[in-house]
């Protein structure tokens, strides 16, 4: 089975100035929920605790 990177990899709200395993998200500075990391929910829509910040593609 092929694994996919978390959607955060493609999001503009992630601070990539840290080591990859230490990246921080503006929506979830204390850790992104597993449901988002595992593609169980679509974070282009609001999700509990995201402080009003949703996925925004970094290639736009």
pLDDT value at position 22? Answer: 79
pLDDT, tens only, 7-58: 888 899 998 887 767 788 999 999 899 999 889 999 999 999 999 999 999 8
3 state DSSP class of 35: helix
pLDDT value at position 23? Answer: 81
**Higher-scoring residue by pLDDT: 5, 24:** 24
pLDDT value at position 18? Answer: 77
CB within 8 Å of 25: residues ≥ 6 apart? 8, 11, 13, 14, 15, 32, 53
Name the pTM for this structure.
Answer: 0.79
* Number of domain units in the chain: 1
Residue 18's domain comprises 1-60
Length of the chain, in residues: 60
pLDDT value at position 56? Answer: 94
């Amino acid at each position: 089975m092929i694994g996919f990177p978390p959607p955060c990899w493609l999001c503009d709200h992630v601070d990539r100035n840290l080591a990859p395993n230490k990246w921080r998200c503006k929506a979830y500075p204390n850790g992104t929920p597993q449901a988002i990391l595992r593609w169980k929910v679509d974070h282009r829509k609001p999700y509990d605790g995201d402080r009003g910040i949703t996925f925004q593609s970094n290639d736009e």
